[in-house]
Structure 1
Amino acid sequence: MFDTSAFTEGLLLGAGLFTSVGPKDAFVIRRSLGGQHLPLIVAVCAGSDALLIALGAGGFSALLTRHPLLLSVALWGGIGYLVCHGLLALRAAVAGQHHAGGGDVLPRNTFLQTLIATAVVSLLNPYAWVDTVLVVGSIAASKSGDARWSFMLGAIAASFVWFSGLTNFSHAFRRLFTRAMAWRALDAFVALMMFGMAAHLATARLQ
């Protein structure tokens, strides 16, 4: 039986977690500007979140917490990933590497290229693992029966709504990114977000 209260709880938690701009969101914004394979991008992003939530609810989050060394390696690896991503975005912002020259904003990508690239940035994103497996998954695992599935569906719905809105919003404002300054601002914002997330994870780990 569907548990409305648990669904709402999962929806609100997912909305709070997924609406912060991370590596996957920056990727979605850039790909959405070109207007290519938008439904595919949404499906893979939300589907990867659903998979990671299911892993966490299925006991993977408990496995990580029972092995502090494994969790520590995963978190510090994730911090390193975020820092590297931030440095690349900062370099792009300073050098003005991302800009449109009057044609397409981005090179054309095939369906398969988009599928693989989206899956990689979704499943290898450490912050997504923290949000979905350790936070959402562990809370879902603490619930039982219908409440667990309803909670998971709520969180997955939040992911789907977020990425649907992000792709359409980004594509609607694609003309803005015919200017190099807009790309510099986006890259600078992404760099700040990556460094902020890395600092947050590091601070929480050291406490």
Structure 2
Amino acid sequence: MEPLIHGILLAFGLILPLGVQNVFIFNQGATHTNFMKALPAVITAGICDTILIYLAVAGVSVIVFSFEWLKLLLFLAGFLFLAYMGWVIWKDNPTINSKREQKGFSARRQITFATSVSLLNPHAILDTIGVIGTSSLGYTGYEKWMFTLACIVVSWVWFLSLAIVGRKIGQIDGNGKFLNYLNKTSAVIIWIMALYMGYQFYVLLGE
């Protein structure tokens, strides 16, 4: 049971903070009048997280952290990516009214955006590889797969829950004020994460 509980707590700890991925999934739930139309974003994010977690547990973390230049590249890319995505979220103005269905992303756009904020987000990659990957090194065999499965299940449950909560908020928040407030708050948090990535890049560069 220890690997299972460890995986659940660790995955929740990593996925709970507001980030680009979470805000996007939440907004898709809120801006579609039909919950099913937000599923492409949920499923894509779930699949991407599953891939990242599997690769991390499979030993990619050992490879990544063996190369100093690769860590530098990830931190620099993370700073630039998060700074840009923070700006995109800050400028976004969710429309929650009778025309909100037109504001929601199409299935194709949801898949593209969810993939980019999942697989092209260096901060998420470092979280997965650096934390989940290294934590899994303490387990072998059956216990390692229990740990891995727990992390994956938490991701899927979390994304589904986010979209469902977003849908409910969208029904209540008729003028979109709450979503605008959430976007502004999320953008500030994402910029703080960007500064952290930039600081880590500066520290590594000076070593």
> In the TM superposition, what is the alpha-carbon distance from 1:108 to its structure 2 partner?
5.2
Question: CA-atom RMSD, angstroms?
Answer: 2.2
Report how many aligned residue pairs link the two structures.
200
What are the within-5 Å matches in structure 2 for residues 1-207 of structure 1? 4-33=1-30, 34=32, 35-92=35-92, 97-107=93-103, 109-205=105-201, 206=203
Structure 1 pair 39–89 and aligned structure 2 pair: CA distance change class (3 A): closer
User: Is residue 56–residue 128 contact of structure 2 (8 Å, CA) maintained in 1?
Assistant: yes
Unaligned runs of 5+ in 2: none
Name the SS for the 1:178 alignment partner: coil
Q: Distance in 2 between matches of 1:197 and 1:17?
A: 13
Q: Distance in 2 between matches of 1:7 and 1:183?
A: 34
The TM-score, its normalising length taken from structure 1, stands at 0.85
Structure 1 pair 37–141 and aligned structure 2 pair: CA distance change class (3 A): farther
After superposing the two structures, state which structure 1 stretch, 100-109 or 120-129, moved more: 100-109
AA aligned opposite 1:136: I
The TM-score, its normalising length taken from structure 2, stands at 0.85
Q: Runs of 4+ in structure 1 displaced over 6 angstroms?
A: none
> In the TM superposition, what is the alpha-carbon distance from 1:28 to its structure 2 partner?
0.5
Q: Distance in 2 between matches of 1:109 and 1:183?
A: 16
AA aligned opposite 2:171: R
> In the TM superposition, what is the alpha-carbon distance from 1:67 to its structure 2 partner?
0.5
> In the TM superposition, what is the alpha-carbon distance from 1:105 to its structure 2 partner?
5.0
Q: Distance in 1 between matches of 2:45 and 2:153?
A: 12
AA aligned opposite 2:86: G
After superposing the two structures, state which structure 1 stretch, 143-152 or 117-126, moved more: 117-126
User: Is residue 22–residue 127 contact of structure 1 (8 Å, CA) maintained in 2?
Assistant: no
Q: Distance in 2 between matches of 1:42 and 1:88?
A: 20
> In the TM superposition, what is the alpha-carbon distance from 1:189 to its structure 2 partner?
1.0
AA aligned opposite 1:55: L
User: Is residue 38–residue 163 contact of structure 2 (8 Å, CA) maintained in 1?
Assistant: yes
Query: Identity over the aligned pairs, expressed in percent?
Result: 22
Q: Distance in 2 between matches of 1:112 and 1:87?
A: 23
> In the TM superposition, what is the alpha-carbon distance from 1:25 to its structure 2 partner?
0.8
After superposing the two structures, state which structure 1 stretch, 152-161 or 116-125, moved more: 116-125
> In the TM superposition, what is the alpha-carbon distance from 1:63 to its structure 2 partner?
1.1
Unaligned runs of 5+ in 1: none
> In the TM superposition, what is the alpha-carbon distance from 1:49 to its structure 2 partner?
1.1
